[in-house]
A and B are shown apart, each in its own frame.
Chain A
Amino acid sequence: GAGVSQSPSNKVTEKGKDVELRCDPISGHTALYWYRQSLGQGLEFLIYFQGNSAPDKSGLPSDRFSAERTGGSVSTLTIQRTQQEDSAVYLCASSQGLTAETQYFGPGTRLLVL
């Protein structure tokens, strides 16, 4: 595709439910990032995938958060047993994976946990 796409664009869920957020990176981009953007906060790094290497999970806030990337392309971020503090915009970005390479961001998924 022309850019990074994310789905759904909006998600409302009840506390305790699991949610899955999807990211389709730009074709050919080997690096994929997930960030969380909360009101009044910057972008909080969550996880980074680079090619076939083990992902950098150092930013995941708890073991309720996990992510996978299948076939080096599409990625899914899963949040189990959602809490109200998980409400935020979840952003995905991809890049060619080279040092200091520009990241291209998707439009984000706005998650609201009631």
Chain B
Amino acid sequence: AQSVTQLGSHVSVSEGALVLLRCNYSSSVPPYLFWYVQYPNQGLQLLLKYTSAATLVKGINGFEAEFKKSETSFHLTKPSAHMSDAAEYFCAVSTNTGNQFYFGTGTSLTVIP
């Protein structure tokens, strides 16, 4: 079975500060991992995904995430937060044995000017 845990339902950072959103997964088979972002009053859109190629994945808007098998983690980072990054972020896991996706409970990011 697969599952995702996102530590911290709310994260606040100052504008220009490092953004770190945590995601840990559980999977009995090699996982595929995703980060989606949901801006206010908009649908979810893909930020980046890991599909067993490079462990450091770069996504849109300056975000990146690193797959660490030993830590079963896929944390999302951005060196310098912008006001426009304020949104809800969801981590998700899938596998090559099925097309079902398992989403975390989300982390709401607030950027303080």
> Which A residues form the contact surface with B (CB < 8 A)?
3-4, 31, 33, 35, 40-43, 45, 48, 50, 56, 58, 91, 93, 95, 97, 99-108
Closest A residue, CB atoms, query B50: A100
Interface size on B, residues (CB 8 A): 26
Other 10 A-B pairs with CB < 8 A, given A42-B104, A107-B43: A3-B43, A4-B43, A41-B105, A42-B106, A43-B44, A43-B90, A43-B103, A48-B99, A58-B100, A105-B36
Q: Does the CB pair B99–A108 fall under 8 Å?
A: no
Q: Does the CB pair B45–A105 fall under 8 Å?
A: yes
Q: Does the CB pair A102–B90 fall under 8 Å?
A: no
Q: Which residues of B contact A48 (CB under 8 A)?
A: 99-100
Please report the C-alpha to C-alpha distance between residue A45 and residue B100 in the assembled complex, in whole angstroms: 8
Q: Is B73's CB within 8 Å of the partner chain A?
A: no
Contact with A along B31-67 (1 / 0, CB 8 A): 0101010000011111001010000000000000000
**B83 to A: closest C-beta gap in Å:** 23
16 A-B pairs with C-beta separation under 8 A: A33-B101, A40-B105, A43-B90, A43-B103, A56-B98, A93-B44, A99-B32, A99-B96, A99-B99, A100-B49, A100-B51, A102-B46, A102-B49, A105-B36, A105-B44, A108-B43
Which of B49, B94, B101, B104 gathers the greatest number of chain A CB atoms within 10 Å?
B101
Q: Which residues of B contact A4 (CB under 8 A)?
A: 43
Contact with A along B1-27 (1 / 0, CB 8 A): 000101001000000000000000000
Which of A40, A42, A106 gathers the greatest number of chain B CB atoms within 10 Å?
A42
Q: Which residues of B contact A33 (CB under 8 A)?
A: 101
Closest B residue, CB atoms, query A41: B105
- Tell which of B32, B102, B106 touches A45, judged by Cβ atoms closer than 8 Å: B102
Q: Does the CB pair A103–B43 fall under 8 Å?
A: no
Q: Which residues of B contact A40 (CB under 8 A)?
A: 9, 105
**A63 to B: closest C-beta gap in Å:** 20
